[in-house]
Amino acid sequence: MKQTYLGPTDIKVGCIAYGNWRFAGSTLEEADEKIRTALDYGMNLIDTADIYGFGEPAGFGGAEERLGEVLSMDKGLREKIVLATKGGIIPPRPYDSSYDYLIEALDNSLSRLRTNYVDLYQIHRPDLIVPFEEQARALNDIIKSGKARHVGVSNFTVSQTRALQAHLDAPLVSLQPEFSALEQSPMTDGILDYAGETRAAVLAWSPLAGGRLATGLASEGDDADRFGRVIDTIDKLASDHGASRSQIALAFTLRSQANVIPIIGTQNIDRIIESAASADIELTARDYYDLVEAYRGVGMP
């Protein structure tokens, strides 16, 4: 798989990452196979969060716990992966990015993950109460402690990102927005521009729109016209490139001007393998603009 850097760091990662949101219900054997398959096919960046598993039998921390068990079975495995986690969502509050909470949340994540550091620690969602200066103090101390090599944010607007960055001693190396052929807001809300400015990696969550771009089945909240246009365009490009819908959807995110690393979320081994092959699909500029126009419903001016 093509490689890229985790933003402005010297950490090399595959251009597609593997996400653990839907991972908590895996048996240990299944979990091990998923992580090893992702790694074997070049997806060495593994993205998890303390909240993954909440609302399921595994509970809060369940996905990290499972990954920690996988890591503990093979002592060499930890060094082979670039480990990213997130903290700051705590239902029903719902968010807490206070100094004390973030410091403790990371300690708890590390103990579930059975490691003494993560490569990337991200604030999961913007806390509208805690001052940015306090959030930054926590992240600064986390880096100083060696418990995280780098820090990033998820679901922050550009102005929230800048406000936090203003108080940080280190760069925010990653932004994690929802980004797909069906959710192109990062192109116009400044996120991709900010990433271009700072070289932050854009970890694109739900790059298949949670599977809708693979199944072609819209959800209730989708704009039916837009959904139809995007799926029709994906189908045409899939036929042109001899690829699947999901491969075209992933290739779209990879063709972006910023350093976009889509995080796939499938729990199916064959689909992990299929996703990896999308890194080799070269969408033309016209293909890319076809998907932008399908999303916007108008031609480029």
Q: Which residues are catalytic?
A: 52
Mode of pairing for the β-strands spanning 3-5 and 12-14 = antiparallel
Nearer to ligand NAP, 268 or 284 (CB): 268
Output the smallest distance, CB 210 to ligand NAP, in A: 4
- One character per residue 60-99, x = contact with ligand NAP (rule: CB under 6 A): ----------------------------------------
- What separation in angstroms does the CA of 10 have from each of 4, 13, 86? 10, 10, 21
Per CB under 6 A, 214 contacts ligand NAP: yes
Q: Which of 182, 264, 283, 294 binds ligand NAP (CB under 6 A)?
A: 264
Q: Which of 8, 190, 211, 228 binds ligand NAP (CB under 6 A)?
A: 211
Assess contact for 287 and 281: CB atoms under 8 A.
Answer: no
Nearer to ligand NAP, 22 or 199 (CB): 22
Nearer to ligand NAP, 269 or 292 (CB): 269
Q: Which of 64, 210, 229, 291 binds ligand NAP (CB under 6 A)?
A: 210
Phi, psi of 145 (to 5 degrees): -75, -15
Output the smallest distance, CB 208 to ligand NAP, in A: 3
Helices (H) and strands (E) in the chain, counts: 13, 10
Nearer to ligand NAP, 20 or 256 (CB): 20
SS3 129: coil
Site for ligand NAP in 224-243 (CB under 6 A): none
Q: Which of 161, 174, 246, 253 binds ligand NAP (CB under 6 A)?
A: 246
Per CB under 6 A, 37 contacts ligand NAP: no
Burial per residue of 43-54, b for 16 or more beta-carbon CB atoms within 10 angstroms, e otherwise: bbbbbbbbbbbb
Per CB under 6 A, 149 contacts ligand NAP: no
- What separation in angstroms does the CA of 272 have from each of 77, 107, 209, 216? 19, 30, 16, 19
**How many of the other CB atoms lie within 10 Å of CB of 130?**
19
DSSP conformation letters of 57-98: TT-TTHHHHHHHHHHHH-TTHHHHSEEEEEE-B-TTS-B---
Nearest residue (beta carbon) to ligand NAP: 265
Assess contact for 250 and 264: CB atoms under 8 A.
Answer: yes
Judged by CB under 6 A, which stretch of 26-34, 94-102, 108-116, 205-213 contacts ligand NAP? 205-213
Residue 118: DSSP 8-state: E
For residue 95, give both structure tokens.
């968010």
Nearer to ligand NAP, 52 or 101 (CB): 52
Per CB under 6 A, 13 contacts ligand NAP: no
Per CB under 6 A, 126 contacts ligand NAP: no
- What separation in angstroms does the CA of 159 have from each of 34, 108, 123, 165, 166? 37, 29, 15, 10, 11
Assess contact for 194 and 200: CB atoms under 8 A.
Answer: yes
| Closest among 81, 32, 82, 86 to 54, alpha carbons compared | 86
Per CB under 6 A, 208 contacts ligand NAP: yes
Nearer to ligand NAP, 269 or 285 (CB): 269
Judged by CB under 6 A, which stretch of 109-117, 140-148, 220-228, 267-275 contacts ligand NAP? 267-275
Count interface residues toward ligand NAP (CB under 6 A).
26
Give the interface with ligand NAP as residue ranges (CB under 6 A).
19-22, 47, 124, 154-155, 176, 205-211, 214-215, 246, 263-268, 271
